[in-house]
Amino acid sequence: MTSFAAAVERIKGDVRRAVPAHLITRATNALGLRGRNRLLTPAVTTHLALYRVLHGGTAITHLRHLAEMSFTPSAYCQAIARLPETFFRLLQILVTDRLRDDRPQDRWLGHRLFLIDGTGVSMPDTPDLQAAFGQPGGQKFGCGFPVAHLLVLFEARSGYLLKTLVAPLRTHDLTHAAAMHPEMQAGDVLVGDRAFGSFAHLALCQRRGLHAVFRAHQRRRHTTAPDRLVRYAKPSRRPSWMTTEEYDALPGEVLVREVRVRVRTPGRRLRSLVLVTTLLDRRRYPARAIARVYEQRWRVETNLAHLKTTMGMDVLKSRTAEGVRKEILVFGLAYNLVRRVMRSAADRQGVEWDRVSFVDALRWLRQAKAEAELPRLVVHPHRPGRFDPRVKKRRPKPYPRMTRPRGELKKELRTKQLVT
């Protein structure tokens, strides 16, 4: 049997260096987690979980070959189950705080920028997951997959994922938006799409001293004025995600600024849009600067594409609700480790951090040996205004869609008479 020291040594070097065992011990001690000495300790289990998601959520039987360790899938699942969700959430905070560095060049006019958005991830079709998250309404029972709603908060410049909240599919982005506010400080700027531009959310941002740059809500009427101050009155109807006490505590109106932006970049879907912001000083925050800040919102789409497509978080492997939440947290932690590699490579190669290839950084992190020196990574050319149509060239296989449960289809195949 592999010893504990040898097991830790076999975990790839850079992951172990970025998430040291003493940090994992700090998290377990803070939560009062105790256990007997075994092969799959919290440190080894955490490193294995990170290594697994770095390889796209590979099978556990493959994971033991990658780590050159001897354990069964059942033993690994039991080791993950012994670690509560709060452990992974605390570990992500500890590791991300260790990675982050507040650089003056990362700020916009002295403010830190944060990006907020919602997305969805699929998972296996089990009764537990169906009950916890639900599935899209257009899918028949037994023919679809459960989908979880994620609300994510990123640092705009560094790209670090600061917080992820998991909820059932039919959850509006605003439902848990206020829970992201404690991750920021007074004076920070939060950027989001029009789902976040409601009166209640703007009032909550102002109460915490946060600045907001959102696309104006589609239900609100706007004039053709290019830049104006306007007072949003408090609606008589309380949003469902707030309690009566919380809504009564909001002011009767909020003073905001509406900026109409003309989009002249080729390939963009919109030609004009209205932004609503709490940055009221036109001299310090010109309309053009507000437009450029909102343009950075697209980075959240790129970050989510890296998480879901490049790293494979789009389809999860866990078969329980708690396991899904843990898996998402581990993906977020691994994503931040890749971002750290990108930041280090950008500093060494003298380029902007977002020009370093995410895929190349991920590939190096997968194979990095202990104390390995970071090589020169691929740097993308500067291509402003680049766009492509959102279409697929490769045709899918010509099989019919599954419109009835698999059991019914198999029963039909068993009873079907073969024609000779």
Contacts of 134 (CB under 8 A, 6+ apart): 146, 147, 168, 169, 170
pLDDT tens profile 386-406: 777 888 899 888 888 888 888
Q: Tell me the pTM.
A: 0.90
Q: What pLDDT, on the 0 to 100 scale, is given for residue 268?
A: 60
Decide the pairing of beta strands 211-215 and 189-192: parallel
Task: Give the residues of the chain that fall short of pLDDT 70.
Answer: 1-14, 264-271, 370-371, 417-420
pLDDT value, residue 318: 94
Report pLDDT for 229: 93
Distance between CA atoms of 392 and 398, rounded to whole angstroms? 15
Per-residue pLDDT at 14: 63
pLDDT number for residue 265: 65
pLDDT tens-digit readout, 183-195: 999 999 999 999 9
- Percentage of the chain beyond pLDDT 70 is 93
